[in-house]
Amino acid sequence: MSELRTIPNVGTRTEQDLLAMGYTTIASLKGKSAEELYREECSLRGYTIDRCQLYLYRAVVYFVNTENPNPAKCQWWLWKDDFVKPSPCGAVCIECGHFPTHCGGCRKIHGKAFWLRFTGDDICPIYQCCNKQKKTNCKGCPHLPCERFTKDPTISDKENQDNLQKMLNRLEQEGG
């Protein structure tokens, strides 16, 4: 058994595939993207493999490239598109400190975030607005960022501004 098996989610089959693809150590996987690994495994097999393997590789890439990976974030199913792609507001669940322990993920909980008890809303206003317009997210909205984008009172103005900028950048680059 190689050291690859110490990576969460890597069982016998994935270990054999990684070895066949030329990855024999954890170090050899550093810097690789999940999409590259997924494409290489599809080529190796000669057909398009189940997309769950891409999610597994996302978890692997997180583990091998993170100094102190959070064990709670290592399960492969937490790397499905819904948790990795921007939420309606541009936040990304897998990067959020509340996920998965305190929050099950924006789309999975249908915008019923835990912090709503502090605002009095039943559902996140951003989630609801996108839903009503049948939009995946706020990308392309002429009002972005509208008044529904409120500050998190638990962090500084600078952190709020930085977070908002990240969300807007993501929506610009990845959303749609």
Q: Which residues bind ligand SF4 (CB under 6 A)?
A: 87-89, 91, 106, 111, 113, 124, 126-127, 129-130, 135, 138, 141, 143-146, 148
Tell which residue, 25, 46, 29, has the closest CA to residue 37: 29
Least distance to ligand SF4, CB of residue 55, Å: 19
Least distance to ligand SF4, CB of residue 175, Å: 11
Q: Can you tell me which residue has the tokens 């999409």? A: 35
Rank residues 39 and 115 by Cβ distance to ligand SF4 and give the closer one. Answer: 115
Sign (positive or negative) of CA dihedral 13, 81, 120, 115: positive
Q: How far apart are CA 139 and CA 144, in angstroms?
A: 8
Least distance to ligand SF4, CB of residue 116, Å: 8
Evaluate whether 155 touches 106 at the Cβ level (below 8 Å).
no
Evaluate whether 103 touches 109 at the Cβ level (below 8 Å).
yes
State the first-to-last Cα distance of the chain, in angstroms, to the nearest integer: 43
Least distance to ligand SF4, CB of residue 144, Å: 4
Rank residues 14 and 87 by Cβ distance to ligand SF4 and give the closer one. Answer: 87
Rank residues 71 and 142 by Cβ distance to ligand SF4 and give the closer one. Answer: 142
